[in-house]
Amino acid sequence: MTQQLLTISDLQVAFGSGENAVQALRGVDLSVHRGECLGLVGESGSGKSLTALAAMRLLPNAARINAGSVSFDGEELTSASRGKLEYLRGNDISMIFQEPMSALNPVMKVGDQIAAPLRKHMGLSPKAARARAIDQLASVGIPDPQRRIDNYPHEMSGGMLQRVMIAMALSCEPKLLIADEPTTALDVTIQAQILDLLRSKQKELDLAIIVITHDFGVVAEIADRVNVMYGGRIVEEARVRDLFDSPQHPYSIGLLNATPTLEMAEQRRLPAIGGAVPHISEMPSGCAFHPRCPERRSKCDSQVPKLDPVSPNQSVACWARRQSDDQAA
């Protein structure tokens, strides 16, 4: 069996402290194996990006990890020193942030930004780092990389900037890449090119990838497994094919039903999940999804369901599924 590279267990993150603390992540469990792509799916506010930032120990100042474990390649990151974290980031773990124009330094040439981790982590000379930066730009499909290396971010299109971010993230050949909404704000053609690029790099480098997205189309295109997240917890985990064929959690079902397909061409409106993701300071007790759930049970209001297997490759945290299983038995 493929070795686990990243294991997150009962991860809890809070904003503030003491009586004023607000729990944002409420016991996240997920794992990523070497060479696989895991999709992390959910609406905005579900905790997807916060999970990634917590795993990399890049939380905002107001947030803190107050319980749980993050193990990367056998190393516990929640207690790792600053020096160890600085070594791992960019070298073994890289992240593509949601907005490339915000993530890149606007007054620094893109080539210098790609060269920086090469000089820091690989000890390359300025000349060697520049040459490798050119190779990196070429490897992600940017034309005329010898000229483009001296461009500033504002001189490049959104699709090119996303490729620059990928080139920078992969420059030191990391073991794990976290891609936060890598196709947001890109047109459909460019989205497909970016996903093809990530898939080819995954095979080329035996790279593990976590793709954070709200788009099931992205998940279907690139992921091997998917974790559905809601209210700071994982509510369903499955192989992609199993989730699409037989979603179990009412939230997963609602998300898939709201995904446009060719069969919906005649419909005037897409099906929608009623309500909205609650703010972290107003999270309901029990299952966080119960105020919006069409299959709500009495215990959903007060008791939190744990992830339980419903098949060898699929687990769900839902009282309705447990009860139906009990009745069938």
In a domain, 289, yes or no: no
Rounded CA separation 14/283 (Å): 13
In a domain, 295, yes or no: no
- The answer to whether the beta carbons of residues 15 and 24 sit under 8 Å apart is yes
- Segment 125-139 shows an average pLDDT of 95
In a domain, 292, yes or no: no
Specify the pLDDT at position 269: 73
In a domain, 326, yes or no: no
Q: Are residues 234 and 212 in the same domain?
A: yes
Specify the pLDDT at position 328: 40
In a domain, 38, yes or no: yes
In a domain, 327, yes or no: no
Q: Are residues 192 and 272 in the same domain?
A: yes
Q: Are residues 164 and 188 in the same domain?
A: no
Specify the pLDDT at position 329: 36
pTM of the prediction? 0.91
Specify the pLDDT at position 324: 47
Q: Are residues 74 and 135 in the same domain?
A: no
Containing structural domain, residue 127: 101-173
pLDDT tens, 198-255? 999 999 999 999 999 988 989 999 999 999 999 999 999 999 999 999 999 999 999 9
Angle at 183 between CA 273 and CA 116, to 5 degrees: 135
Specify the pLDDT at position 264: 59
Specify the pLDDT at position 118: 93
- Segment 116-138 shows an average pLDDT of 94
Rounded CA separation 75/234 (Å): 23
In a domain, 317, yes or no: no
Higher pLDDT, 262 or 222: 222
Q: Are residues 180 and 269 in the same domain?
A: yes
Q: How far is CA 138 from CA 18, 134, 166, 171, in A?
A: 51, 6, 12, 12
In a domain, 318, yes or no: no
pLDDT tens, 43-81? 999 999 999 999 999 999 999 999 999 999 999 999 999
Q: Are residues 82 and 183 in the same domain?
A: yes
How many domains does the chain contain in total?
Answer: 2
Q: Are residues 164 and 213 in the same domain?
A: no
pLDDT tens, 1-30? 468 999 999 999 999 888 889 999 999 999
Which of 173, 206, 232 is the endpoint of a domain? 173
Q: Are residues 138 and 189 in the same domain?
A: no
